[in-house]
Structure 1
Amino acid sequence: MTPTINKYLIILCMAAGSLAGCNKQLEEYNPGGTTTDAVYSTPEGFETLVNAAYTYNRWWYGKEEGYSMAEMGTDIWTSGTGDKYPDMTNYNNLQASNSVMSALWKQLYAAINLCNAGITRIDGAGLTPERKAIRSAELHFLRAFYYWHIVETWGPVHFTLIETSGVVTTANRTPVDTFYAQIFRDLGEAVNNLPATTSDYGRVTKPAAEAFLARMYLTRGMNQQAADLADKVINSYGYTLLPKYADLWRMDNLQNKEVIWAVNYMKNLVFDDRTDATLFPNGHSRGANNAHMLFAMKYDDLPGMQRDILNQRPFNRYMPTLFLLNLFNENADARYEGSFKQVWYCNNLKTAPNGMKLGDTAIYCSKYVLPASTKYRIYDRNAVYTENGGGKDRTRYVSLDKFDDPTRASMNEEQSARDAFIIRLAEMYLIAAEAQFKLGNSAKAAEYINVIRKRAAITGHEAEMVITAADISLDFILDERARELAGEQLRWFDLKRTGKLAERIALHNPDAKVYFQSYHTVRPIPQDQIDAVTNKDEFKQNDKYN
């Protein structure tokens, strides 16, 4: 979907207020006299409302804040040297003052308010009956989608279906079950009224709504419904796994038959809203995808190397746990090479050792213990990880590279036009497998998982990738999800859903194990939200947070 940017969107963004209070009085000047009521009452204006409702996904997907929320603090990632939010990655003194909490809380509730406004006002927008049904279904879906992020992140917090305007100084505490009851109602509306396909890439469709509903069924333990719906998405809409896992991440192949729904970032970065101070005063959190920087190790200060486009701009935020790397049999599973970078090749003769040529190996990182080399730098298991698997050298390590973008215009460009995949077909196989396992059908679960493992098999090693019912357990399914979906902003939710967050951190992430407590299964409500409400006896901080 290409967002429409015009004067109407400015008004809509101004109307999409959050729950936080205001410390300043602003004098507003509206030279055209245009009001939100007038904008909402025209088909053109209402279209900009729906477009604006989609854009809030850009605060989470493909963004550092979203990765900190959804991938960090799990069994598969730990802090790199450049990690801005180690309190989220390792739970070390995680408190309500965390700026990620504040930013995403405000944007998610602004999104909810905009969806509420659209759903409330759509009858007066002058849309044709067919267009009205579709746009209403989109808004219902988006409200469900944003409320899922809110309730899973913060638990039983504020809930409303009413459009608000101006400053709101009270908030309610609503049970998690109430959130999910509404999520299911909204998704029912979406499934019943969305089209099966769209020519406007990025808009949600009926199969995307069903895929997300399958995820919600699994989350709430409705396993038969999850299995049935995931199977329907697999078989009914023409989606297919790409023959090669690595092809998923090619910049020239992003709109492919495996992607069910994505945040589509624009090749013209101007349209990705990074620097518009009027619309997005905190613009550094907006813009296009920046995942290519976050997982890249520091390489550009080593002999024979300099920063370039191919090797990305290394923000060095996150490094894989040794556990994640060891999940792969890289001799049989192509997803290891399709996900990680181990070798950096000389691109700078000025700093290269004697005898090294352009294109020679300059750096080699490995999860194994390797002998020293006189030809190039080696960072092996003993150099990078402690004896118990914790981080030791947090600057040089095997790096996730499936989000790399070698098409960026310059080596220092922070933005990438890479789409952020929200739901893809492989997840449906994994949902169906987990649901069937919980229903007692491990053989069927193995069938689903074997489909994605066969796709991942290196030629000649197909037999090594096949599993049986005896291999299936909840831990095996979580391991398989890590192999398939690492970095795709699902891991924290997966571990919370399965009740495995504490156990898996204790077993596989020594850095986070030191600090993790049982109350960390919800995040702290932002302190500025707590400070802003006037009904502090009713709306209190989540337990154990200051």
Structure 2
Amino acid sequence: MKKSNYTKFFAALVLFGTLGSCNEEEFLREDPIALYTPENVFSNSAGIEGVITNFYVKERYIYYIGASDVSQSLLYGTDSFFSGRGTGTNEKIGSLVTALVPSNYAPTFYYQENFKIIALANLLIENINKSTLTAEQKIPVIAEAKFFRGKAYRDLVYLYGGVPLVTEFATTPVLDRVRATKIEILNQMALDFKDAADGMLPINKVKDGRVSNIVASFYLGETLISLGRSAEAVTEISKVVNDPNVGLMKGRFGTRSSVFGKDVFWDLWQRGNQNRTSGNKEALWVVQFETDVPGGIIKSTDAGGANQFERSCNPAVWSITDPDGKPGFLGRRSNDNIGGNGVSFLQPTAYTTNTVNDIGGGLWPANYIGDIRCNDANLIKDALYDNPASAYFGKKVSQFRGKNMGTGVGTPLQVANAGGWRFYKWFVKSTTPGDHPAGLNDPNNPLLLGSGAGATYHDDYILRLPEAYLLRAEAYLALGNQGLAAADINVVRSRAGAADVLPGNVNIDYILDERTREMVFEEMRSITLRRVGKYGERVVKYNWLTGPTYAPKYDLWPIPQKEIEANTGAVLVQNPGY
């Protein structure tokens, strides 16, 4: 893999840290260049903290900001979501044939960005080991660096298979990388996550947004399942589930707990409710966004490029004309009826939003009764025309289809091409209805949002406690113990008010279904499906757009072509079929 040399990498790192927090007076002051030597930076708490902060900045950038639509590429083209306009792009994956090309942006982006994290981790570990810190001071720093190295390799190995195994920082460009095996990468991940779990602080001792020892135990458990060591995985994941500082939220809480007709699941996604300081005990790792704060990414006046789940995931309800072709809606509104400024890019598959009684089946109980995660507070199933000037004011779009939505008859592609994407069932967790910043209001009509809306104004969960229960269920299932697997699943279902699953009905597909019911939008679904070996089967079964383009080679993403070409000293082997 092509590497920058040590001097350039370190200089860029220091520049990033200083520009992110300097004021003009400090910037103009002439400090000796020696101030920024590795010996100084890695031997004081402020310098070390700046480097560690960069791990979190990179994670947020890769999976929640990115560039263009690439941060959501791991949701598109799965059993849960498809490209709603019926076509897709290289990042909004529709056809695997055109999206997963070695020279395309998404495969290159995830490969290179995760290797940047690995390089940063190796840089930190090397310099902390050489620093003047005491042995005791070094332990948590190295542990956190190893966590992020393990996490980067985790995302790489499930997407690409075996990749180059790099555990030392290169001071000069390395052009003769070769691929390690998948097992070798998994074993290194297990070592890194074990050291992280042993050396990091407990969850009640870390700040919001910071990873803790039980987060490392979670990923160690996941890795052990992949290595066929499921009994050990149960032990590690149990450290998460049994930690006295965590627990599922079961009662109303947080900033909007007095809003009538809502529930605890709705509360989990309200602004200000994601972190432990809000009283949320099931949050394990939360990516941090701050509004109108330098480095916080989100603005109160426009969506910018940040956290655009609302824009991508919500339907463009505001654009629907009534059956007479006249405006059916007044515009973009911050409510459950319209959902802000959606543009209908990332649409849930029918299976993700339908009930067991619908044609083709679905995840949810009959009539959406018996699971709060699909009730009217959390899954929006229809829209009412809200333009008083329309003859259809107050009537349902499902009963009086908008003229620019087509007839709804035909193949899924024909329906999409006719404008059927303007409304579909959508999950409220993708936005903050009734709680957008005032700066987004249309200056000509304060009841409406301006066209600059589209960001989601809450922090995002990378990991919540329910996922630990479902992962331990996966480990129990691998051990042949359906009873204990069902018991863990039922802890999650009980909070949702859902009926218990019987042990005999538990298999990996049921667990994958439950993950979607609980964690839609939260998990990087493309990684999950490939991790458990179910990508092809489920995308063919549930995704009408991507499924027909599937071939076994797409179980892995291609190694980026530019990485192969830059590796002039050895052959960096491409994945089969590319």
Q: TM range, normalised to the smaller chain?
A: 0.7 to 0.9
2:316–2:344: 8 Å Cα contact kept in structure 1?
A: yes
Structure 1 position 61, deviation (Å): 2.9
| Partner Cα distance (1:146, 1:475) in 2 | 26
Partners of 1:439 and 1:389 in 2: how far apart? 46
Tell me the alpha carbon deviations over residues 411-448 of structure 1, each in whole angstroms, 9 at most, x when there is no partner: 41454442221111101111121211221211111111
SS at match of 2:168: coil
The aligned counterpart of 2:473 is 433
8 Å contact 1:430–1:448 — kept in the other structure? yes
Tell me the amino acid that sits aligned with residue 334 of structure 1: I
Whole-angstrom CA distance in 2 between matches of 1:297 and 1:157 = 38
Match of 1:116 in 2: 122
SS at 1:216's partner residue?
A: helix
Residues 518-538 of structure 1 show CA distances to partners (whole Å, capped at 9, x for unaligned) of 011111122222232213x61
Say which is worse superposed, 98-107 or 420-429, in terms of deviation: 98-107
Which whole-Å deviations, capped at 9, do the CAs of 1:41-90 have from their partners, x for residues lacking one?
43322221111122110123334423212x22221211112854367344
In structure 2, what is the equivalent of residue 420 of structure 1?
Answer: 460
Deviation sequence 1:453-474 (CA, Å, 0-9, x none): 11112xxxx5xx1221122122
The answer for the alignment partner of 1:100 in structure 2 is 106
Q: 8 Å contact 1:79–1:86 — kept in the other structure?
A: no
Cα shift at 1:205: 0.8
1:232 matched to which residue of 2?
239
Offset of residue 388 of structure 1: 11
User: Do structure 1's residue 12 and structure 2's residue 13 form an aligned pair?
Assistant: yes
1:130-141 aligned at under 5 Å gives the runs 130-141=136-147
| Contact 2:405/2:422 (<8 A) preserved | no
Residue of structure 1 in register with 2:379 after alignment: 340
Match in the other structure for 1:321: 349
Q: Is the 8 A contact 1:202 1:262 kept in 2?
A: yes
Letter in structure 1 aligned against 2:267: D
Q: How far, CA to CA, are the matches of 2:415 and 2:187 in structure 1? A: 41
What does residue 425 of structure 2 align with? 398
Partner residue, 1:539: 572
Matched letter for residue 315 of structure 1: V
> Helix, strand or coil for the counterpart of 2:461?
strand
Q: 1:215 to 1:80 in 2, by over 3 A?
A: same
Amino acid in the other structure paired with 2:458: R
Work out the CA distance in 2 between the residues paired with 1:266 and 1:377: 40
Residue pairs, 1:202-213, within 5 angstroms: 202-213=209-220
Please tell me whether residue 289 in structure 1 is matched to residue 307 in structure 2. Answer: yes
Q: In structure 2, how many angstroms separate the alpha carbons of the residues matched to 1:344 and 1:294?
A: 18
Does 2:514 correspond to 1:486?
no
Residue 118 (structure 1) shift? 0.4
CA distance in 1, matches of 2:312, 2:57: 22
Gaps spanning 5+ residues in structure 2: where? 1-8, 18-29, 251-263, 321-327, 354-361, 441-448
The reply to whether residue 85 of structure 1 matches residue 90 of structure 2 is: yes
Shift, 1:301, TM fit: 1.7
Matched residue, 1:241: 248
Give the one of 418, 433, 449 matched to 2:489: 449
> Cα–Cα, structure 1 residues 343 and 390, in superposed 2: closer, same or farther, change >3 Å?
closer
1:502 to 515, 536, 547: 536
Q: Which residue does the alignment assign to 1:466?
A: 500
* CA distance 1:88–1:291, change in 2 (3 Å): same
Is residue 95–residue 549 contact of structure 2 (8 Å, CA) maintained in 1?
yes
SS at match of 2:390: coil
Question: Which letter maps to 1:307?
Answer: R
State percent identity of aligned pairs.
25
Instruction: For structure 1, list consecutive stretches of 5 or more residues without a partner in the other structure.
Output: 1-7, 17-29, 276-283, 365-371
Comparing 303-312 and 480-489, the one that deviates more: 303-312
Do the aligned partners of 1:262 and 1:419 also contact (CA within 8 Å) in 2?
yes
**Higher RCO (CA < 8 A, seq sep 6+):** 1
Partner amino acid, structure 1, of 2:90: Y
1:509–1:298 distance in 2 versus 1, CA, 3 Å: same
Aligned CA distance change for structure 1 residues 258 and 90 (closer, same or farther; 3 Å): farther
Alpha carbons 2:43, 2:133 under 8 Å: kept: no
**Matched residue SS, 1:487:** coil
What's the offset of the Cα at 1:189?
A: 0.9
Secondary structure of the corresponding residue to residue 270 of structure 1:
coil
Distance 1:117 1:348 in 2: 59
Work out the CA distance in 2 between the residues paired with 1:211 and 1:232. 8
Alignment of 1:162 with 2:168, yes or no, is: yes
The separation in 2 between residues aligned to 1:304 and 1:285, in whole angstroms, is 22
Shift in Å, 1:190: 0.9
Equivalent residues of 2:72, 2:92 under 8 A apart: no
The superposition leaves residues 221-269 of structure 1 with CA deviations (integer Å, 9 ceiling, x where unpaired) of 3221222322231122331112232222111311111111121222334
Q: Are residues 484 and 314 of structure 1, via their aligned partners in 2, closer, same or farther at CA, if it must alter by over 3 Å?
A: same
Q: Which moved more, 1:474-483 or 1:141-150?
A: 474-483
**Does the CA-based 8 Å contact 2:70-2:92 persist in structure 1?**
no
Give, in angstroms, the shift of residue 347 of structure 1: 5.3
Partner of 1:263: 287
- In 2: Cα distance, 1:450 partner to 1:173 partner: 41
8 Å CA contact 1:193–1:206 kept in 2: the answer is yes
The residue identity in structure 1 corresponding to 2:423 is R
Q: Which amino acid aligns with 1:118?
A: L
SS in 1 for 2:533: coil
Q: CA–CA distance in 2 between the matches of 1:486 and 1:201?
A: 22
Q: What one-letter code is carried by the residue in structure 2 that aligns with 1:538?
A: V
Q: Which moved more, 1:305-314 or 1:517-526?
A: 305-314
2:274 is aligned with 1:250: no
TM-score, length basis structure 1 = 0.82
Q: 1:497 to 1:150 in 2, by over 3 A?
A: closer
In 2, Cα distance between equivalents of 1:391 and 1:336 = 24
CA shift in 2, pair 1:115/1:414, >3 Å: farther
The root-mean-square deviation of aligned C-alpha atoms, in Å, is: 3.2
What is the distance in 2 between the residues matched to 1:180 and 1:480?
26
Q: In the aligned structure 2, how far is the partner of 1:171 from the partner of 1:190?
A: 26
